[in-house]
Amino acid sequence: MNNRKVSIVGAGPAGLVAAINLARDGFRVKVYEKNTDAGGRFNGDFQGIENWSTEEDVFSFLNSVGVFLNFKCEPFCCVETYGPNRKPVYIEGRRPLFYLVERGTKEWSLDQGLKRQALAEGVEFQWGINLKTAPSGWVIIGTGPKSADAIAKGMVFKTDHEDVALAFLDNKIAPGGYAYLLVSDHKATFATCLFRDFKNCNQYFENAVDALKTVTNIDIHEPHEFGSFINFLARTSTTQKGRILYVGESAGFQDALWGFGLRYAMLSGYLAAVSIKTGMFYNELCETHLKSQLETAVANRWIFDHLGNWGYKRLIRWFHRNDEIEKLHQQYQPAAFKRLVHKIAMHSYGNRIKNNDCMHENCDCVWCRFCREETENVCHKESDIYIV
């Protein structure tokens, strides 16, 4: 095996952070991406790099994983939150709750910023390549979610509304999950994230839009709908054959509670690079730096899912009466009780795909579209590795 050659499959944040760090250390890095550009699977939608799971601020975190700011990264210190009663509760932090980033192919998106940094380090890109077999040498797999543990239905649009972040906790519009609105510079993203009852996502999205209109006077221009899948159940092993490493959502590194998983994705890419450079075991690095928070997030999601709207009402009041960012931070800290809940949650969630058939005929909901894509894709295996 050529120890100085690394192939990275997928030009997402996890793969690009790995590429930047490896190329900077003199490795020959080639990134293969099935789309024609970084961020090609996104529509300019807004996401957030959460700032509450640790005491380390996002700017410091980015520096620690070897990247710098050359993309939109806007701090938000307040989230206007609505429970089932639609009464606003303003959750504020002593520091930013999250940093808003844009996904997609626009110049100031996170994806394009990381791509520019990778190019500056000498990384080679192969666009429009959908690899069928794993290349020789070191391989990092960062091709996104492989199962639908949760789904999101949303839209991006233009608006004259002021910059704002809104969150909704209500099982009537986001069963087991949440809905959110992010507005910045007259652009907006609104979405509902479902952790169950996937086949009715279109109806829940309509309910979510109705809820949005009851609490805001937001104007919606040129809306474009999107759907996506979320994989938050981590793989049993993040390595295969001693040379293939899984990062980001390919490994199930996603925030099951409130976040977008970007911090976990970039950290996993950095850890993969550290493993290749130093010979440290990637599985052990993930165990040390990621596992406990990921498992705690799954446990929290299971708890809130079973408490339902009754629990959401009390959760919102609890946050409002305390130091909000500190309480959010506490939610991500491991505990014996939550380790037990995590075991129960894993049995409860499992893999949501029961079969590869659409759940009803002539439907274009996010769930059915995912099932069709699973059916149409041909998986080429190397051991139990596949690249689609």
Assigned token pair, 277: 């450079």
pLDDT value, residue 355: 40
What's the confidence (pLDDT) of residue 294? 85
Grade residue 387 by pLDDT with cuts at 50, 70 and 90: very low
DSSP assignment string, 237-259: -SEETTTEEE-GGGGT---SSSS
Per the model's pLDDT, the better-predicted residue between 34 and 303 turns out to be: 34
- Max intra-chain CA distance, the chain: 60
Residue 385 has pLDDT above 80, yes or no: no
CA–CA separation, 175 and 207 (whole Å): 11
Decide which of 273 and 380 is more confident: 273
Convert the pLDDT of each residue in 205-258 to its tens digit. 999 999 999 999 999 999 999 988 887 777 667 888 889 999 998 888 888 777
Instruction: Quote the CA–CA distance of 142 and 262 in Å, as a whole number.
Output: 13
CA 150 to chain centre: 11
Q: Which residues contact 115 (CB under 8 A, 6 or more apart)?
A: 11, 16, 37, 38, 125
Name the band, by pLDDT with cuts 50, 70 and 90, for residue 285: very high
N residues, the chain: 388
DSSP 8-state symbol, 95: S
Q: Please tell me the distance from the alpha carbon of residue 276 to that of residue 5, in angstroms, as a whole number.
A: 10
Residue 74: count other Cβ atoms within 10 Å of its Cβ: 16
Q: How far apart are the first and last CA of the chain?
A: 23
pLDDT of residue 325: 67
For the domain bounded by 5-43+50-72+101-147+231-289, which CATH number is listed? 3.50.50.60
Q: What is the pLDDT of residue 375?
A: 45
**Which residues, 6 or more positions from 166, have their beta carbon under 8 angstroms from its beta carbon?**
79, 80, 81, 82, 180, 181, 212, 215, 216
Q: How high is the pLDDT of residue 206?
A: 96
Examine the pLDDT at 76 and tell me if it is beyond 70: yes
For the ranges 62-76, 166-180, 230-244, 253-267, the one whose mean pLDDT is highest? 62-76
The predicted structure's pLDDT at residue 299: 86
Closest of 40, 208, 233 to residue 150, by C-alpha: 233
> Which pLDDT score, from 0 to 100, does residue 359 have?
47
Q: What is the mean pLDDT of the chain?
A: 85
Annotated domain spans of the chain: 5-43+50-72+101-147+231-289
The dihedral formed by the CA atoms of 296, 299, 305 and 306, expressed in degrees to the nearest 10:
-140
Q: How far is CA 356 from the centre of its chain?
A: 23
Confidence at residue 364, expressed as pLDDT on a 0 to 100 scale: 60
Helix intervals (H) in the chain: 13-24, 58-64, 110-120, 201-215, 262-278, 282-286, 292-320, 324-331, 336-349, 366-376
The percent of residues in the chain predicted with pLDDT above 70, rounded, is 85
Q: Note the pLDDT tens digit of each residue in 136-164.
A: 899 999 988 877 788 899 999 999 999 99
State the pTM of this model.
0.88
CB 387 within 8 A of CB 143: yes
Give the DSSP per-residue string, 152-216.
EEEEEEE--PPSEEEEE--TTTSTTSEEEEEEETTEEEEEEEESS-GGGHHHHHHHHHHHHHHH-
Average pLDDT over residues 357-361: 48
* Residue 380 to residue 388: CA distance in whole angstroms: 7
Residue 155: Cβ within 10 Å count: 18
Output 28 or 227, whichever has higher pLDDT.
Answer: 28
Q: Which range, of 16-25, 121-130, 249-258, averages the lowest pLDDT?
A: 249-258
